[in-house]
């Protein structure tokens, strides 16, 4: 490997030895930059990699709140303001017990590259808390969100840092966070958060955007290789925001989604998943995917017993991991390849381990990397910010068309960068190089930042 890249990875390993997810994301990106770093010494001369791998600012704070029994609870809040090179810090908030500094930093790091790929003026950030919304009452979630924002408000703003949703943070949470921000600021700063409900400044199609965007990217990638979604069998892990709308668009492109999952297990319905039933369970009742059997007794349920999800054992043409990081590991990749998978598209952030990704690429499976393939969510967030700035609304159709154009462009940028690097068809390398070039140019142009 290039000695400059090697040195930066090794220094990062020493400095962040207790942050495995962050190091994993960093290694994946840096090790793919060789074709461009080798060619031009301006990157090393300007210490671009050292600067790009160190967040501009990390904020960690206490979030005290009172549960329904009157007991005081304390969680930890985070906001990683990773890069403001090309716009205000931008990225989601995750509420999940697995949240820690390493997870936040990996997500913030990925977000810089993803946001650069959208071509829109947004920097990169991530935040969240180890708060677990599962099983909490609406009142508890509201009190938590109000306390979280009582600290976060001083660090954000529509031209400073614009959070949005991610795992465990959807329309309900964004509403409570926005209400508290507005009270504290005594101003209607519509663009301070995205993923808002339509009735107070949200964008049509933001809810659908990440899943739809993933399918637009898949469509372009398959077209490039003389294939399409039409008639394909699809399995999708997760059953949250990204998974549900990925499934919806897959069906509308003529594919058949036969399996979906949650953290407890997966359902298989050979007739095709009934999405209305999934939406009722997940969006309305906040229930478990197993309840699908209540309305479809002929479907099958496989409980997750070990570390690996049973969903990857199901034969499929196309696999879309849309739940969480490292959910698709080498042994899962081997099963998918043995069962004839032709394409994998990452709806979640870093769902595929490095070894599994390499296995797919070595076996000529088309692979759509997260930072490109799931960029439709944040791109539509930027379109929401635009609407808030101009105090106007676009129709669903207008937003969807813009999203489609952005995702199509992203695919073609990844393709061109992969071709130029001499690794045609490797969109992992393509995405990393295309994003890196934009960020490095901005960093050089702005002097020592
Ligand atoms: P949701 O909270 O709506 O849904 C998350 C889904 O993933 C649920 O089905 C959940 O199951 C499952 N899941 C979460 N954690 C785990 C885990 N540790 N093991 C197994 N399953 C798990 O989140 P989103 O759909 O918004 O996010 C899904 C992924 O997509 C994340 O990686 C996120 O970072 C990424 N993403 C989201 C975007 C967005 O706009 N929302 C944009 C781009 C990427 P359970 O209910 O059992 O916890
Ligand atoms: O990972 C992601 O890109 C998101 N969770 C969406 C971020 C956003 O600002 O819309």
For 355-387, the pLDDT digits (tens) are 999 999 999 999 999 999 999 999 999 999 999
Average pLDDT over residues 306-328: 97
| Ligand 1 centroid – CA 288 distance (Å) | 14
Q: 115 CB under 6 A from ligand 1?
A: no
Q: Which atom of ligand 1 is nearest to the CA of 324?
A: 32
**DSSP H or E segment with residue 427:** helix 427-445
Ligand of minimum distance to the alpha carbon of 327: 1
Q: 377 CB under 6 A from ligand 1?
A: yes
Q: 147 CB under 6 A from ligand 2?
A: no
- State the pLDDT at residue 89: 98
- CA 383 to CA 265: how far, in whole Å? 35
Average pLDDT over residues 196-201: 98
* Mutational pocket test of ligand 2: of 92, 171, 174, the residue with most ligand atoms within 8 Å of the beta carbon: 92
- What totals of helices (H) and strands (E) does the chain contain, helices first? 18, 12
- CA 162 to CA 194: how far, in whole Å? 7
Helices (H), 368-395: 370-373, 376-390
- State the pLDDT at residue 174: 98
Q: Provide the whole-model pTM.
A: 0.98
- CA 52 to CA 46: how far, in whole Å? 11
Which residue has a Cα nearest atom 22 of ligand 1?
A: 263
The residues assigned a catalytic role are 126
Structural domains in the chain?
57-193 (3.40.50.10860), 209-373 (3.40.50.720)
Per-residue confidence at 226, pLDDT binned at 50, 70, 90? very high
Residues 65-107: pLDDT tens digits? 999 999 999 999 999 999 999 999 999 999 999 999 999 999 9
Which residue has a Cα nearest atom 43 of ligand 1?
A: 374
Among 42, 26, 193, 164, residue whose Cα is nearest residue 91? 164
Among 170, 247, 239, 249, residue whose Cα is nearest residue 216? 249
Q: 210 CB under 6 A from ligand 1?
A: yes
Helices (H), 317-426: 330-338, 354-362, 370-373, 376-390, 396-420
């Amino acid at each position: 490997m290039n000695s400059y890249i090697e040195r930066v990875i090794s220094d990062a390993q020493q400095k962040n030895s207790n942050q495995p997810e962050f190091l994993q994301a960093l290694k994946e990106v840096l090790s793919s930059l060789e074709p461009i770093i080798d060619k031009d010494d301006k990157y090393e001369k300007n210490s671009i990699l050292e600067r790009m791998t160190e967040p501009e600012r990390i904020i960690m704070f206490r979030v005290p709140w009172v549960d329904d029994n009157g007991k005081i609870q304390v969680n930890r809040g985070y906001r990683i303001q990773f890069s403001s090179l090309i716009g205000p810090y931008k990225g989601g908030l995750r509420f999940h017990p697995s949240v820690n500094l390493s997870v936040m930093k990996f997500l913030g790091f990925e977000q810089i590259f993803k946001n650069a790929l959208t071509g829109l003026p947004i920097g990169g950030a991530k935040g969240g808390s180890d708060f677990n919304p599962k099983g909490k009452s609406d009142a508890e979630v509201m009190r938590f969100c109000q306390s979280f924002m009582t600290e976060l408000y001083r660090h954000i703003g529509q031209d400073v840092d614009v959070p949005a949703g991610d795992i465990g943070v959807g329309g309900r949470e964004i509403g409570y966070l926005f209400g508290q921000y507005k009270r504290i600021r005594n101003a209607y700063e519509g663009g301070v958060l995205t993923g808002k409900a339509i009735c107070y400044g949200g964008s049509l199609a933001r809810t659908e955007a990440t899943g739809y965007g993933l399918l637009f990217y898949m469509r372009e990638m398959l077209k490039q290789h003389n294939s399409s979604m039409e008639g394909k069998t699809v399995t999708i892990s997760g059953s949250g925001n990204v998974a549900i709308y990925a499934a919806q668009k897959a069906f509308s492109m003529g594919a058949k989604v036969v399996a979906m999952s949650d953290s407890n297990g997966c359902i298989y319905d050979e007739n095709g998943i009934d999405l209305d039933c999934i939406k009722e369970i997940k969006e309305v009742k906040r229930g478990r995917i197993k309840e699908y059997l209540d309305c479809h007794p002929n479907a099958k349920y496989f409980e997750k017993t070990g570390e690996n999800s049973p969903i990857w054992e199901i034969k499929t043409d196309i696999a879309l991991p849309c739940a969480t990081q490292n959910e698709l590991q080498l042994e899962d990749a081997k099963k998918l390849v043995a069962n004839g998978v032709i394409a994998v598209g990452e709806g979640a952030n870093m769902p595929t381990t490095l070894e599994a990704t390499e296995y797919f690429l070595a076996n000529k499976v088309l692979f759509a990397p997260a930072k490109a393939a799931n960029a439709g969510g944040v791109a539509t967030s930027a379109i929401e910010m635009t609407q808030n700035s101009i105090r106007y609304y676009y129709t669903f159709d207008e937003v969807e068309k813009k999203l489609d154009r952005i995702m199509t462009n992203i695919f073609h940028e990844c393709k061109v960068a992969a071709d130029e690097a001499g690794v045609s068809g490797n969109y992992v390398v393509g995405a990393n190089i295309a994003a890196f070039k934009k960020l490095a140019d901005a960093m050089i142009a702005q002097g020592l930042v």
